Each structure stands twice: as structure tokens, then as C-alpha cells.
């Protein structure tokens, strides 16, 4: 069995996942970084992070990946469920197969990896499961129903899981990034525009896209390393909080949602995306 702590980071080919793998490796973890495309993790491999392919929509891929780590190291101390994507568009327009796929990646892939690492962590009597949710799990946007539904699901799943696993020494932590400067922004906007083209929601999609573009700017968006530092804290502090909002405006949005009546919050969001 390895004498060093072992971490697994999903969605590590770019952005938050890549920066998290770097920081965990730098903090002394034997770090495994996974994504569908191994070639995009060459820089991580170059600094000593162990990389291999994993597809969160393929159960055999996930089972093989966890077995590989357990055989190699004899333990898993930290799972960072970071992989996920945003697919936007009106509920009326988004194909139901695409909605299902988003749940497969954002929710069921996360849940399946949690199932797979839990027996090892339970036997160890310790472990951390860090689920990267979003402030999108606390508020909502027009034309973002399917994405927000996945993140609301991650929040509820994680809260229940935290109580479920606490007796075994396993801590569950939720990370709630605000707008972050990553390729997530481009993917979500592109899906919004493509899904809405030529339909009843095309004009509104253009307005929503322009609002979302602000997340790519330095004054509104946060660099992914800022989120990664919060994940490192959640992985290493002796008494982690249940959730960490992180990034510009994240705490304020979460607080506003908690304090404002639905009608007032609806009006505020509608104004932002007008």
C-alpha cells in the first residue's frame, strides 16, 4: 500500500480539473488525472501527474480506472468529481437524448465513481469526496434548465451523501464556483446558439449569450486556479466545510437566493438576462 495520499481528479484535460491536479500533485499527493482525451493531459504527465483515459458515460471505463488505482496504490484518499459540461437551450428545443447525456456526465458519472471509491475509503476509515457543483446549483437562468437541473441534483445528492458517509470517516464537500474563465463558457454558449437557431427562442438566446460572455472577462470571471486552490483546501484541511462558494460574486448570489423571495429573485435574474 502506498504511504502517500492518493487523489483522483476527473475532467482534468483543462480548466479547473487541470489546475486541481497540478496543485494536489504539488502538495504531495500521488495524483491521477483522467479525461476522455489523454493527449490533452500531456502537460500534467510532464510534471509527474499520472494520466489515463476515462469516459464517465461508460461504466466499464470507470470500473477499470478505479481498479487500476486501487491495484497500483492500495488506497484512494481523495476523489475530485470535477468533470461536467453545460448544454444550454430552451427545454422545448433541447433533444431529450442530449438532456439525458448531460445527466449521465454531470450526475450519474459522478455518482458511479462515488459508488466505486466508497468501499476502499470505508475500509480505510477515511476519505474525501469533493463534488464540483456550481452556483448554478443554487440559482437559475433562462434557457439553462437542463444544466441547472443537473447541478441542483449534485447539491441534493452530496448533502445526503455527507450524512450517509460521515460515520465511516468519509467527508463530502461541495465546491460551488461562480463564473470561471474556462472552455465551459464557450461550449455552453455554442450549444445555446445552435439549439435555438431559427426557432422561437433565437432572439432571447442571443441576449442570454451576451450576458454569459461576461464570464470570460477578468472583472466578472474567475481564473480556474482560484477554484483549484479551494479544492485543495477542501482536500487537506482537517475540518472541511460542507460547501465552498468560490469566485467573484458567488457568495453574494448564494446569499441573495437564500434571502430574496422567488418573485424578487425572478425579477433580478430576468433583468440580468434581458
The candidate with the shortest Cα–Cα distance to 61, out of 19, 100, 105, is: 105
Q: If 0-12 CB within 10 Å is exposed, 13-18 middle and 19+ buried, where does residue 180 land?
A: buried
Q: What is the Cα–Cα distance from 170 to 204, expressed in whole angstroms?
A: 44
Query: What is the Cα 11 distance to its own chain's centre?
Result: 8
> Is 147 a catalytic site residue?
yes
Question: Cell numbers at residue 33, please?
Answer: 488525472
Q: What is the Cα–Cα distance from 259 to 264, expressed in whole angstroms?
A: 10
Pick the catalytic residue from 88, 147, 201, 244. 147
Alpha helical stretches, state H, the chain: 15-26, 42-46, 59-73, 96-103, 110-124, 145-165, 183-196, 202-213, 224-236, 250-259, 262-272
Q: Write phi, then psi, for 128 (nearest 5 degrees).
A: -130, 130
For the chain, give percent helix, strand, coil, nearest 5: 55, 15, 30
| Residues known to be catalytic | 147
Amino acid at each position: 500500500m502506498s504511504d502517500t495520499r492518493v487523489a483522483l481528479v476527473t475532467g482534468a484535460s483543462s480548466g479547473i480539473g487541470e489546475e486541481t491536479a497540478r496543485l494536489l500533485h504539488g502538495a504531495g499527493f500521488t495524483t491521477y488525472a483522467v479525461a476522455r482525451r489523454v493527449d490533452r493531459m500531456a502537460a500534467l504527465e510532464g510534471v509527474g501527474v499520472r494520466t489515463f483515459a476515462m469516459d464517465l458515460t461508460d461504466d466499464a471505463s470507470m470500473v477499470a480506472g478505479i481498479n487500476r488505482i486501487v491495484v497500483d496504490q492500495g488506497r484512494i484518499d481523495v476523489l475530485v468529481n470535477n468533470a461536467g459540461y453545460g448544454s444550454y437551450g430552451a427545454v422545448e428545443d433541447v433533444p431529450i437524448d442530449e438532456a439525458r447525456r448531460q445527466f449521465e456526465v454531470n450526475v450519474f458519472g459522478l455518482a458511479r465513481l462515488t459508488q466505486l471509491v466508497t468501499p476502499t475509503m470505508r475500509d480505510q476509515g477515511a476519505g474525501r469526496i469533493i463534488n464540483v457543483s456550481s452556483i448554478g446549483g443554487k440559482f437559475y437562468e433562462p434557457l439553462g434548465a437542463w444544466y441547472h437541473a443537473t447541478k441542483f441534483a449534485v447539491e441534493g445528492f452530496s448533502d445526503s451523501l455527507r450524512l450517509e458517509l460521515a460515520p465511516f470517516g468519509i467527508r463530502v464537500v461541495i465546491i460551488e464556483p461562480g463564473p470561471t474563465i474556462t472552455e465551459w463558457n464557450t461550449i455552453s454558449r455554442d450549444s445555446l446558439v445552435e439549439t435555438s437557431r431559427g426557432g422561437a427562442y433565437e432572439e432571447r438566446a442571443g441576449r442570454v449569450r451576451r450576458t454569459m460572455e461576461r464570464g470570460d472577462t477578468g472583472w466578472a470571471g474567475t481564473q480556474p486556479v482560484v477554484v483549484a486552490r479551494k479544492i485543495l483546501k477542501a482536500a487537506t484541511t482537517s475540518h472541511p466545510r460542507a460547501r465552498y462558494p468560490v469566485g467573484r460574486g458567488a457568495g453574494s448570489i448564494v446569499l441573495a437566493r437564500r434571502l430574496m423571495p422567488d418573485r424578487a429573485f425572478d425579477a433580478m435574474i430576468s433583468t440580468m438576462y434581458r
